[in-house]
Structure 1
Amino acid sequence: MCKKNWMFVSVKQTKPVIVIVMIVSLLSLWMLLPIRFTNPASSLSYLESSRLAERSLYKLDTGWPKFPKYFTGQVFGVAVDPVADIVYVAQRGESVPKVLMFTEHGYFLQVWNTTSLEMPHGIFATNSSPAPSVWVTDVGNGKYGHTVKQYTPSGKLLQTLGTPGTPGSDIYPLQFDQPAEVFISRKEEMYIVDGDGGLNNRLMKLAQGFGIAWMEGEKGSGPSQFYIPHSVTEDTVGRIWVADRGNKRLQAFDATSGEWLGAWASCFTADAPYSVRLTYDDKYFVVAQLNINRVVFLPVPPIGDIGICRIVDTILLADGVKPHLVDVSRKTGAIYVAEIGAQQAQKFVPNNRK
C-alpha cells in the first residue's frame, strides 16, 4: 500500500515538471529558427533570399585599377572595347583629361589630349568596320556641346553628329539637346537617347549615313514618352531597352520598327534606373540606381510579352558612391561602374567565371 501511494505521488508531482520542460524546449527551438514565418509568402521570401545570398553573381575586384590616382574628376561614363584589352573612362572637371584608358587588368595606358570634348556624359566603344572607334555624347552648353562624337581609340576626332553648340530638336540638320548615351548593336545599328534634362526626350535609331531610321518619344509619362531618357541597350531578340530616368522605368521597343512593347516600373519605386546593359551571357540586365547607391540584376525576358520585372541580385555600394553609367566586357564578363560621387570607376567580376 505504501509503495502504491509513493508511485502515485511521484507521477502526480512530476507531471508539471514534464510540461514545463516541454514548453521550454519548444520555445528554445522557436527562438533558434533563423526566421519566424508568419505566412507562406514570408517563408518563400526567406528561402529565395537565402538562395540569392549563396549565388551572388558578382564580386568587387579590389585590385582594379592598379593606379587609381589617375582619377582626377567626376567619373560619368565607362566603355569596354569588345575586342581589344581597353577600358575607357570619361570624367569631368576643370583642367582634367576627359578620357582615361586602362587595360582590363588595371594598368594605366594613356589619357586623351583632345580639346574637342566639353562635358562628356555617355561613352561607347565599338570594333565595327572599318576600324575600332569610341563614341562620346557631349552635353556641354559651349561651342562643342549638344553633340555625339566619334573618336579613334587614341582620341583623335573623326566626326561629329549634331550641330555643335546649338541645342535643338531638328533632324534636318540633325540637332541634339544634351544627348545622354549612344549604343551600337552587334548589327552595327546606332541608337541614341537624346535628352539628359534638355529640350528633347526621344529615342533615335540612325540608318547608314546617319539619317533617321525611326524616332520615338516626347516629354510625358505614357507609352513611348520619356522624361530624361538616360541609357539604351539591345537584347538578343531585337528589343531596345531605355532607362527612362525621370519616369522611373525601363521601356522596351522593337528594334526594327520602333514599336512600343511595354514598360517595367515595379522594380524602380525606390529609385530610377540610370543605366542599362546586359551581362556577358545575356541573361540579366545590369541597372545602376544612383540615389540609392546600388546596381541590380533583372532577368531578361524571353521573346514575346516582356511580363513584369524582378530583381534577382544586388550590388550594394557605400553611401555617396552614386553609380551613374555601366558597361560590360564581352570577353571577361566584368562589369565596370562609373561613380560620380566616389570619383572613380570600379570593376566587378562574375563569381561563376574563371
Structure 2
Amino acid sequence: MKLKSSICISAALVSLALYALLRSDGKHKVRAKSVLDFLRTSPKQLYKLDAGWPRNPEYITGVPYDVAVDHVNSLVYIAQRGENVSKVLVFTEEGYFKSAWKTKTIDMPHGIFAEIEEEQLKSIWLTDVGQGSSGHTVKQYSPSGELLKTLGTPGLAGSCLSPLQFDQPADIFIKGEDEIYIVDGDGGLNNRLLKLTDEFSVQWKMGDNGTKAGQFYIPHSVSVDDVGRVWVADRGNKRIQVFDTITGEWMGSWDSCFLEDGPYSVRFTSDKKYLVVVQLNLSRLLLLAVPAIGEIGDCNVVNTIQMADGVRPHLVDVSAKTGSIYVAELGAEQVQKYVPLEKQS
C-alpha cells in the first residue's frame, strides 16, 4: 500500500508541475504539452522521452535547426539561429552545457554533421543557407569551431560544379573517408544531390527541379546506409528517394507514408533497423522499416512518436553508441532526446 501511495503521489506531483507549465507562456508551455502527449501514448512505443534533457536549457537562446552527435566523446552539437547568439552550442549527451562557438563565419546554419573516422571525431560540417557574406556554403570546422574548409563561393548563389557553387545547401552526410553527399538546396536555384570525392570534386550529380524519378523539389536531408544506398528526403515532392552510392542510379522511392506532410529528415537508428523520419507540420517522428539488400518496395511505418501541436521538429541525429534520437524543434525552440526502451547494438 505504501508503494502504491508513493506512486500516486509522484504522479500527482508530475501532473501539478506540468499543469503549472501549461499555464505559462512560450516554449515551456509547448515542452509541457509534449511531455503530456508522450505520457498518453501507447506502451508499445520503442522510445521514451528524456523529459529532463538538456539539463541546462537556458543556454539554448536561439532556434535550433539541427543536431549532430559525436558518440565517441558523448557530445551533442546544436546549430541554432538568432540575433546575437552563438550559432553552434555543445552539450554532453547527459545534457550539460559544455561550450559555445565564437566563430563569426556562419550566417544561417541549416544542417550539421559530425564526421567520425576510425572512432575519432575528425571535424564538424555545417551547411549555411544565409544570404550574407558567409552564406550558400558548406563548411568544415574543428570540434572547437575553427574554420578549416569552405565549399562554394561565400555569399554568392550558383549552380556551377567547377568551381563548386551552392544555393541554400540543406544537408551533408559523410560516409567513410572519401564519400561526401550534399543535398542542395533548401529552396533556391538547385534541386540536386551531389557526391564529392575526398578532394571535394564532384563524382556525380543527380536531379533537377521536377516530380519525375530522380528529380527533386526541396531535397532537405540525406543519409547513407551500410549497403550502398543513399536516402534523400525529397520534402516538396512528399517522398523519399533512394540512389546507388557508386553510380548515382535511381533505385526507388517511398511516398505512401507522406500523403499529409513531406519528410524533413532522414537518419538511421543505431541498429540500422529503422529510418527516423521527421514530419514538421504534423509534429511527429516516424520509424520506417529498412528494406533488405536489393529491395526498396514502399515504406512501412513501424512506430510513431507524436509530439504536441506546434513543436515542429526539423532535423534529427542518432547516437551510434546509445541509440538515442536528438530532435531540433523550431516551434518549441528546443532540442529533445528520446532514448530506446530496449538496448540497441
Task: Determine if the TM-score, normalized by the shorter chain, exceeds 0.5.
Answer: yes
Q: Cα deviations across residues 82-119 of structure 1 (Å, max 9, x unaligned)? A: 31111000100111110110000011101000000000
Q: CA deviation at 1:62?
A: 1.1
Q: How does 1:172-191 map to 2 (within 5 A)?
A: 172-191=162-181
- Between the aligned partners of 2:71 and 2:121, the Cα distance in structure 1 is 13
- Matched-pair contact (CA < 8 Å) for 1:128–1:188: no
TM-score normalised to structure 1 length: 0.84
Q: Indicate whether 1:125 and 2:114 are aligned.
A: yes
Q: Indicate whether 1:273 and 2:242 are aligned.
A: no
Question: Partner of 2:257: helix, strand, or coil?
Answer: helix
Residue in structure 1 matched with residue 55 of structure 2 by the alignment: 66
Q: CA deviation at 1:54?
A: 4.5
Q: Cα deviations across residues 111-166 of structure 1 (Å, max 9, x unaligned)? A: 00000000000000112279621000000011100000000111111110000001
Q: Indicate whether 1:292 and 2:282 are aligned.
A: yes
Q: Indicate whether 1:104 and 2:85 are aligned.
A: no
TM-score normalised to structure 2 length: 0.86
Question: Partner of 1:127: helix, strand, or coil?
Answer: strand
Equivalent residue letter for 2:53: W
- Structure 1 runs (4+) deviating above 6 angstroms are none
Write 1 or 2 for the structure with the bigger share of strand: 2
Question: Partner of 2:336: helix, strand, or coil?
Answer: strand
- Between the aligned partners of 1:180 and 1:222, the Cα distance in structure 2 is 21
Q: Indicate whether 1:242 and 2:227 are aligned.
A: no
Is there any run of 5+ residues in structure 1 with no aligned partner, and where?
1-51
Q: CA deviation at 1:270?
A: 1.0
Question: Partner of 1:298: helix, strand, or coil?
Answer: strand
Q: Paired residues, what number?
A: 303
- Note closer, same or farther for the CA distance 1:131–1:276 as it changes in structure 2 (3 Å cut): closer
Question: Partner of 2:281: helix, strand, or coil?
Answer: coil
C-alpha RMSD over aligned residues = 1.4
Worse-superposed segment, 223-232 or 80-89: 80-89
Question: Partner of 2:77: helix, strand, or coil?
Answer: strand
% same residue: 61
Give 1 or 2 for the bigger CA radius of gyration: 1
Write 1 or 2 for the structure with the bigger share of helix: 1
Q: Cα deviations across residues 156-190 of structure 1 (Å, max 9, x unaligned)? A: 11110000001000011100000000001135411
Q: Indicate whether 1:158 and 2:139 are aligned.
A: no
2:332 to 342, 345, 348: 342
Q: Cα deviations across residues 226-264 of structure 1 (Å, max 9, x unaligned)? A: 000000001121100000000000000000110000100
- Between the aligned partners of 1:110 and 1:348, the Cα distance in structure 2 is 22
- Between the aligned partners of 2:248 and 2:71, the Cα distance in structure 1 is 26
Is there any run of 5+ residues in structure 2 with no aligned partner, and where?
1-40
- Matched-pair contact (CA < 8 Å) for 2:222–2:265: yes
Identify which of structures 1 and 2 has the higher relative contact order when contacts are C-alpha pairs closer than 8 Å and 6+ apart: 2
